[in-house]
Amino acid sequence: MRDNVVRYAGLTARRLIPNRWDLVAFPLVFGLLVMAGIGAHQTLAPISALKEPVVSLDPINLPEYALRTTLRMLIALAASLLFTLIYGTLAAKSRRAELVLVPLLDILQSVPVLGYISFTVVFFLSLFPGRVAGAEAAAIFAIFTSQAWNMTFSFYQSLRTAPRDLQEATRNFRFSAWQRFWRLEVPFAMPGLVWNMMMSMSGGWFFVVASEAVTVGDKTIVLPGIGAYLAQAIADKNLPAVGWVIVAMILVILAYDQLMFRPLVAWADKFRFEQTGAQNAPQSWVLDLLYRSRLVKSLGSPVGHLLKILARHRFSPLSARPMRLG
């Protein structure tokens, strides 16, 4: 017994020793967390911190503006994903709810983004009086409205078209509704949902300029970001600044494509339901790096283990019926 404990302790300690892959993976993950923390800290500042001029056309400020715009879009994407899981599931699981929610979703996606901004700004500013967070929330909600509807329709359609043979298998294994959702329906919907997340993220760029300028009465609150930089450059007819912001947008798109979407596409491909295997499976150097790293993988394993426990838990167990013999 003691030898087993010592051996287990040795294996655990060995997992926490960085390998050569951690030399790249750990600084990458740590840097992303630091940038997220810096962006979150700036939202808690008083609204008076947005002094005039809010946006400087000096290209040296573009990395900060790109960070803040990207954080807004990622927060909106996370909110859209949560909305998708809740709204799409209700529409797909309840016939009565479907009669209301699906037409309502069709109406919501037909409303222009600027229409949402006009009547939500005061609400969000009142939630965080005197803080930049109110204007940030209004901007994030505007981006959210450009992302959520497309993702929700995709998820709803995937739930409605889940293979019947797999659904029958979950009933035979007596999965609860919670287990069926996380172990069959979400994995089946994941490849399509990831692709629609990419499309929604791209669509959000069309409304960045409008979302980063929040108007209340005769006062306009401009949030630092790529959209505000582009609007200021156009207003000043500064063609070099427009060129710089285009370069910054290209670099940002390439960055989150390589660091987020390509790993998600490669990971979600294992859930693809096809009779024949894909000719070329998607690859991601970031996903391979995280799989090969020792320290990052060990630090993230408790979270993965917790998610597996939640997915396998029977929150709504099916009542067991006695089997008839003979």
What are the tokens at 193? 């949902």
Q: Assign 219 to helix, strand or coil.
A: strand
Q: Taking 60 as the threshold, does the pLDDT of residue 12 lie above it?
A: no
pTM for the whole structure: 0.81
Residue 322 main-chain phi, psi, to 5 deg: -65, 140
Q: What is the dihedral of CA 234, 237, 242, 245, to 10 degrees?
A: -60
Q: Where are the domains of the chain?
A: 61-273+280-312
Of the options 1.10.3720.10, 1.20.1250.20, 1.10.287.90, 3.40.50.1700, the CATH number for the domain spanning 61-273+280-312: 1.10.3720.10
Kindly state the DSSP code that residue 182 receives in the 8-state scheme.
I
pLDDT band for position 80 (cuts 50, 70, 90)? very high
- Averaged pLDDT of the chain: 79
Q: Output the pLDDT for position 304.
A: 67
Strands (E), the chain: 213-216, 219-222
pLDDT band for position 85 (cuts 50, 70, 90)? very high
Structure confidence by residue, pLDDT tens digits, 279-307? 677 888 777 777 777 766 676 667 667 76
Instruction: Give the DSSP H or E segment for 160.
Output: helix 148-160
Q: Which residue has the higher pLDDT, 213 or 185?
A: 185
Name every residue whose Cβ is closer than 8 Å to that of residue 22 and which is 6 or more positions away in sequence.
Answer: 293, 294, 295, 296
Q: Any idea which residue has 């929330």 for tokens?
A: 137
Q: Taking 50 as the threshold, does the pLDDT of residue 325 lie above it?
A: no
